[in-house]
Structure 1
């Protein structure tokens, strides 16, 4: 049965296809929720536990670095006075340990919760339709709204667990403030979960749905950064236009403005209603923004050309984003270095992230390390496009032609690994344009992130090739590496923990001496993992669902 016919049949069994309807529209939601939680039984606990633990660990770290009220007051005043650091972390609204934890980790925890949520919702909505699994499920007694409801409930379970971990872990600093921070992070995740639900109705591919939601998240972070850079009180209109800014302006441990929670709650409700309305007006597998048909006569002579056609739009968007972000953050280097130089504890944090060289170099190195971590997410997503092509059964007819599996995979892998080079060079170029010093050193510092990026991309190749059912776990591996590398230095975690991230082994350029052994070891490790993954791909059967 076709997708359209199946959808109409399912709608008929569940009480009609309109936006209105009774509980029959939700028939099967519980079973689909259990299925989603079972499928994500590894990925979601890793995301939630790692992110929650890292935020909670900031409690002890901040208390150890700033043991007295006077130390904390000096830090709060100095950080709030600098527009560059306000753009990066937001203004400091209080000088208690809890308020400093919320300042240092609140924005980034909210962003990572949003990333987790958009991945989960798209995975259990548009990706299910793209692979054909939803059509089979709809042939059973499954209500029209059940798949979307189950996906949103899965995101709600994850964000609730994350909020509870943060609340319980920081309750010793004040139960109200801990609850405020937990709700700020969890509700930000739900805002982008419902945004992803809307995107999944509008687009025809899971990749595009993730890309659109990620672009909204990037715009929200940029609005918040621009607003905070211009207003130390957090009252800028730009900040209030951003869901990430709402999390910040809840002011956990610094007054706890509970009324701000009405904004994310309203956004969740409105976006959720929009997603349900859109879902009721389309057939399974269809979308409101269908992909444009190609030319009547094919122009793609090779599998690599097809891979380029499929991924060029995403690569262009990522490259433009890295170039702009590099220019924005490059302009912060001098101001941040001048300020941090007046604070011994803050200087230690940046030197753990960027090395013991001059502060401007350490800050630049730390920023480029962050770009490397984000680039690793691009690499993983680009590699997993292979998995999407295979599970959606688009790879099978291609491989039925005289196209070998290695040739098919090579096109996507070249874009993934070479594309990450382009992204980091774009970030380095943007930084040089705004920083204006030593272009060779800045570009070298950007390029030295590549072995760690490639290693995480290679993990995705290995999982897809050898254990395709666990391919999605590559996101959890990348998320763990990013979380440890991003937040770990500020928590003063032991070196053994920091070494869990490949970024912890890289030389701290610019300023520090180049160390070739870790670069070569990481590169060789990436090559071996890619080879093992491709060997597994050659031997196994194709995944069809």
Structure 2
């Protein structure tokens, strides 16, 4: 039997399981690239009008550290500034999630052991996961490029933007494939792969903000993606080192695969303590133990992002010198207050979406605990269903709120040091987004309690909310369509007033969705 036997059936199975998540994720990335370009071209119809605002962004170290340098002082280059780095990071994360899910996660949860009992070769699961992730990356890059061509910009620059996403995604496919052979658990593989992604981002940021270390960017695969420079130098050839890196990493992953046993990794799992701590005697203590590492990482990330947002505040007047940019900021943040307050309102709402993503990720742990059979073991003790469910929901809710506090404090402290808007203004604005975040968590609980196999659809709902928020103000969606997003009912803090009716309504929706989720979980059987 060939070691690749069963690859195509496994690939079809993987696609069938993830087709909606993959489709929604690719669509979100493509729409983000398209909407960013359309909005920029509306603000800067000519390159001459874009040059002044572009120069301010190019000279701001905080913007450069976050998004990278501008490829050129042209309107299309400004239109892809955010997409270059954000598109790279999110495409890389999507590739990571697909490879890990269909390799290490399958082994950890015992499903691959059943599959391996059939006509399935040793290399087939890894090959199927790599093929699915690679096809997804190529689709993301290809459709993003086509979406920009549809706006009328230079086709070569559009293709270069697609290459940016492909470079980051392909390298991450290889990195994740290796990480899944080294570690014993999906969490360990995720920690290793995402740490490398974070280091790549940090190395790239240091290189971009350094006067003497520009070449350091080539030590980071995100630096390779950035150096493609869409609508600038258009270095399409940088896809070649990405392909070489993917091939080399896959060879390493294959060698490691042949040297390990099924279900294990090359690195032995760390032995636990001889006695469990007292906190593990409760479901809440166990849920906290499972999530504390992730929350620490998110906390560090939000503290850094808050500092970056605050430091950008000093250049807001120059960045938004065009009336069109100011109008866009006002549409996306509620529209009241000074330009600086409007800027903070826009960024707070954007980061609130990230806090909602953390809450969804944490709540989704319920599904993985159930499908892996661990919930069944826990519920066989004196622990009741509501108590077990509440332990994970409480960590998701409090963790999300904690991130909002961290973001409000760090952005407020940084902003207060360079402007008149500080913690007293930014922290309440951050906390005002909490009801919208709670709605996202509650919808995840609702899906888990009523239709557990569709729990991952919570990501699709969040993507829809983001698209409504990004595209709605730009294309003048009707009010009822904008109202479908919970982030549209927050008021206009800082600078304006909160929306007490909207916030109360969001809290009621969150409570109702959560209650229905609890009731559904109580009545249904466990799905293992």
1:133 corresponds, among 86, 102, 111, to: 111
1:51 aligns with 2:35: no
Partners in 2 of 1:209 and 1:310 — Cα distance?
Answer: 15
Cα offset, 1:62, TM superposition: 2.6
Aligned CA distance change for structure 1 residues 207 and 500 (closer, same or farther; 3 Å): farther
Aligned-pair CA distance for 1:111: 2.0
How much does 1:499 deviate?
Answer: 4.4
Provide the secondary structure at the position in 1 that maps to 2:518. Answer: helix
CA 1:534–1:100 in structure 2 vs 1: closer, same or farther (change >3 Å)?
Answer: same
C-alpha change, 1:183 and 1:411, in structure 2 (3 Å) is: same
The alpha-carbon deviation at position 385 of structure 1 amounts to 0.8
Distance 2:351 2:384 in 1: 35
Query: Aligned match of 2:407 in 427, 442, 446?
Result: 427
Where do 4+ consecutive residues of structure 1 move more than 6 Å?
none
The TM-score normalised by the length of structure 1 is 0.88
Please state how far the C-alpha of 1:226 moved relative to its aligned partner. Answer: 4.1
- Runs of 5+ in structure 1 lacking a partner? 1-13, 15-23
State the partner residue of 2:362.
Answer: 382
Q: 2 CA distance for matches of 1:500 and 1:198? A: 41
Matched, 1:327 2:327: no
Which whole-Å CA distance do the structure 2 matches of 1:346 and 1:358 have between them?
Answer: 14
Whole-angstrom distance in 2 between the partners of 1:398 and 1:426: 33
1:233-248 matches, within 5 Å, as 236-248=214-226
CA 83–520 in structure 1, closer or farther in 2 if over 3 Å, else same: same
Deviation at 1:296, TM superposition (A): 4.2
Is 2:515 the counterpart of 1:531? yes
**Secondary structure at 2:80 match in 1:** helix
Quote the RMSD (CA, aligned, Å). Answer: 2.5
Quick check: 1:506 aligned with 2:494? no
Report what 1:7 is aligned to. none
Say which SS state the counterpart of residue 26 (structure 1) adopts.
Answer: coil
Contact 1:51 1:483 in 2 (8 A): no
* Bigger Cα displacement from structure 2, 137-146 vs 286-295: 286-295
Per-residue CA deviations over 1:73-92 (Å, capped at 9, x if unaligned) read 33332322333333333322
Q: Does the CA-based 8 Å contact 2:96-2:176 persist in structure 1?
A: yes
Query: In the alignment, which residue of structure 2 is the partner of 1:122?
Result: 100
**Bigger RCO (CA 8 Å, 6+ sep):** 1
Q: CA deviation at 1:458?
A: 1.5
Task: Describe how 1:60-71 pairs up with structure 2 within 5 A.
Answer: 60-71=38-49
Q: Does structure 1 retain, via aligned residues, the 8 Å contact 2:54–2:74?
A: no
Q: What is the aligned partner in structure 2 of residue 19 from structure 1? A: none
- Which of 353, 359, 378 is the matching residue for 1:373? 353
**After alignment, is 167-176 or 400-409 more displaced?**
167-176
1:461 and 2:440 correspond: no
User: 2: distance between equivalents of 1:405 and 1:83?
Assistant: 51
Q: Distance in 2 between matches of 1:375 and 1:503?
A: 12
**CA drift at 1:427:** 1.8
Residues 433 and 63 of structure 1: CA distance in aligned 2, closer, same or farther (over 3 Å): closer
SS in 2 for 1:42: helix
For structure 2, the residue ranges without an aligned partner over 5 or more in a row are none
TM-superposed deviation, 1:484 = 4.7
Measured at CA, do residues 182 and 498 of structure 1 come closer, stay the same or move farther in structure 2, by a change above 3 Å? farther
* CA distance in structure 1 between the aligned counterparts of 2:437 and 2:191, rounded to whole angstroms: 19
The alpha-carbon distance between structure 1 residues 48 and 344, as it changes in their structure 2 partners (threshold 3 A), is same
Partner Cα distance (1:75, 1:106) in 2: 18
On the 8 A contact 2:414/2:422 being kept in 1, the answer is: no
Task: Tell me the distance in 1 between the aligned counterparts of 2:350 and 2:268.
Answer: 33
Which SS does the other structure have where 2:144 is aligned?
helix
Contact 1:61/1:490 (<8 A) preserved? no
Paired residues in the alignment total 518
* 2-structure distance, mates of 1:529, 1:483: 22
Q: CA deviation at 1:147?
A: 0.8
Whether the 8 Å CA contact 2:40–2:79 is kept in 1: the answer is: yes
CA distance in 2, matches of 1:439, 1:61: 31
Cα distance, 1:403 vs structure 2: 1.2
